[in-house]
Amino acid sequence: MIISLVRLPADGLSFRHQYVSGELDIKDREFSFVEPPLVAGRVDRVGMEMRLRGEIKTNLLAPCDRCLSDVPLQIGLPFDLLYAPAEVSGQATGEIELHERDLDFAFYANDQIDLDELVLEQLELGLPSRVLCQENCRGLCSECGADLNAGECRCQKPVDPRWQALADLKAKLDTQEND
């Protein structure tokens, strides 16, 4: 969805858009939608810049950091962004460099703002830094890739020699008891 700034009212503009399945291109993203996003907010002119405030709501699936299984996440993501006109900013190089490091800053061109880009970028940045299917997820075996949550894999685990010595001793004692 594109927000046109051509006839933006002096007191700003509210927007609200419920995406439908397949509307956003997420083939290169790590997440997938259970429910496509709802984005709502408002755009206000602040001098040469446009301020977009609002919230993105969606249910999505993101991979567990350890075992890569899909983890359902309920997202309610507020945003507050400043958009500067790309044409003018091009002249003030120092300012661009400063702004590019700021995640809450973007550019608009041709008097329009691409809401799809905003939503995808905010979701990418706003996902939890740690996604786990369960707190004690055991992850994948580094040898065979088996999901260790489903049980031990067949890879031989090297036995610590100290435990092996104890096991030997116990076996010996058991044998003596039986005698």
Nearest C-alpha neighbor of 56 from the set 82, 33, 83: 33
- Helix residue spans in 21-128 (DSSP H): 86-89, 93-100, 115-126
Q: Applying CB under 5 A, which residues contact Zn ion?
A: 64, 66-67, 133, 137, 141, 143-144, 146, 153, 155
| Smallest distance, Zn ion to C-beta of residue 74, A | 18
Q: Report the residue number, 10 or 150, with the smaller CB distance to Zn ion.
A: 150
Q: Report the residue number, 52 or 67, with the smaller CB distance to Zn ion.
A: 67
Q: How far apart are CA 83 and CA 62, in angstroms?
A: 29
Q: How far apart are CA 35 and CA 58, in angstroms?
A: 6
| Smallest distance, Zn ion to C-beta of residue 34, A | 18
| Smallest distance, Zn ion to C-beta of residue 149, A | 6
Q: How far apart are CA 11 and CA 85, in angstroms?
A: 19
Q: Report the residue number, 144 or 159, with the smaller CB distance to Zn ion.
A: 144
Largest CA distance in the chain: 97
Q: Report the residue number, 155 or 165, with the smaller CB distance to Zn ion.
A: 155
Q: Is the dihedral of CA 157, 163, 169, 174 positive or negative?
A: negative
| Smallest distance, Zn ion to C-beta of residue 61, A | 13
